[in-house]
Structure 1
Amino acid sequence: MPWDRTKNRTREEIQRDETVRLPYADRTEAGRVLAERLAPLGLEGAVVLALPRGGVPVAYEIARRLDGPLDVLVTRKIGYPPQPELGVGAIAEGGSPVYDEGLLGRLGLTEDDLAATLEAERAELDRRVMAYRGGRPLPETSGRPVVVVDDGLATGGTARAAVRALRERGPARLVLAVPVGAAETVRRLEPEVDDLVVPAAPWDFRAVGQWYRDFDQLTDRDVIGRLERAGRTTASDNGPR
């Protein structure tokens, strides 16, 4: 996998070997670059699960390239109550909350202190599941290769919650694929999956959006529209010839 090349390498060697031109134009371009990195891994027909909202247009390009079904795996960040943008944990549908225990300790928090926040995030997670899938369950992943996709990795909290929830569902092979991620976050996530594909892992990482020229915020309608397009494409591709 591409990230393997960074093991035991110096920062200068990693940067010298970088072959991805950043920033990406947009999530579509990033998805096409990522799809080409995934294509040699023997993942044809894999279930492709996007972390909405930003992961959906990236995953759309991957599902087209791998000729696999596209769906979403909904996650929610669990924020520090006085500063909600600071994620202290995350939850994915079908999984248990995953907390940053070190950060909780530094903030003097316990999991019980976050009970109300967790309840609110579960409610929003359920709302989004209903909005995106209308009550339809996740695709069957047991015994199948699964590719989890997001548009980038900053702290990696939601990605960790996602892959742990999926691991419990027994995939034959669990792959995490993102176009760009903070180098240290990528290293920490590597043991969580069977394959980790990250074409670019800059050391000077501040936010996912800095690595895209066009990083518009997406809406629920954007997510639903892309999922519907993927469904129509799959139906067309698999129809009578």
Structure 2
Amino acid sequence: MAEHPVPHPDLAGYVLNVLEPGETRAFEAHLAGCGPCHAEIDELRGLPALLTTGAPVDLPADLQARTFARIHASERPSAPLRLVDPQRHNGQLPHAGSRRSSRLTPDRRRRLLTAVAATVLLIAASVVAVLQLQGPVPKDSAAPAGFTLSLIAPDSGPQRGDALIQDTPAGRVVQLRVTDLPPPPPGQRYTCWFVGPGDSLARPNRVAAGSFTTDSRGHAQVTLTGAAAPQRFALLGVTREPDDGNPQYRGPKVLVTKPPG
């Protein structure tokens, strides 16, 4: 068991390379025979390098002032100040040496710097952990560009739709909005498809993007994602399918891509 506070008072300063040369040598001599400190150093050794590669993080503007205020507060005497009765001291005030000095001695200065280093280390470790969990921040976080397709009824019916299609790393995302499409009968649902050339019931050439239903007014607004090659499946369609778990294309078309022009 370590015979010092855990973590060691100089550990944070050593990791951040802010100790004096003599303090560094003393801590390294201690480190050679202290397993817990050695394990702590192994875990934190790569932290300074990570801090130089992480994304900028906004820290509270008053963090430094609050940190030093807490440290100075801990250095103050806990007993309240008392007024001195000169008559009880033969008309003389107590010797100045009996009062606790407020000067920052070298030892207190070292402890102050170590406390600050420990604070920085804890904040940095927390920030790096969050960044590692979040993953790298993309250089361009704007939404990917897309294109819009208009959908119409194949039999000149009233139903209409429009779809914003975006190609993302996760697949092709469809933001679909339909109107005047009656709710499907019980046991059925609508399926949105990426459609390729020559598609038919006999020779299907399509990939499902997802299923949906409409409300009592015949409206729906859904976001679907599928893994269809953009060059092969350039169109979009909607069919009415049995809700029996069979992914095959069997139902009638209710919306098709509007031809250009």
TM-score (norm 2): 0.19
Task: Report which structure shows greater RCO (CA 8 Å, sep ≥6).
Answer: 1
Which structure has greater strand proportion? 2
Length-normalised TM-score, structure 1: 0.20
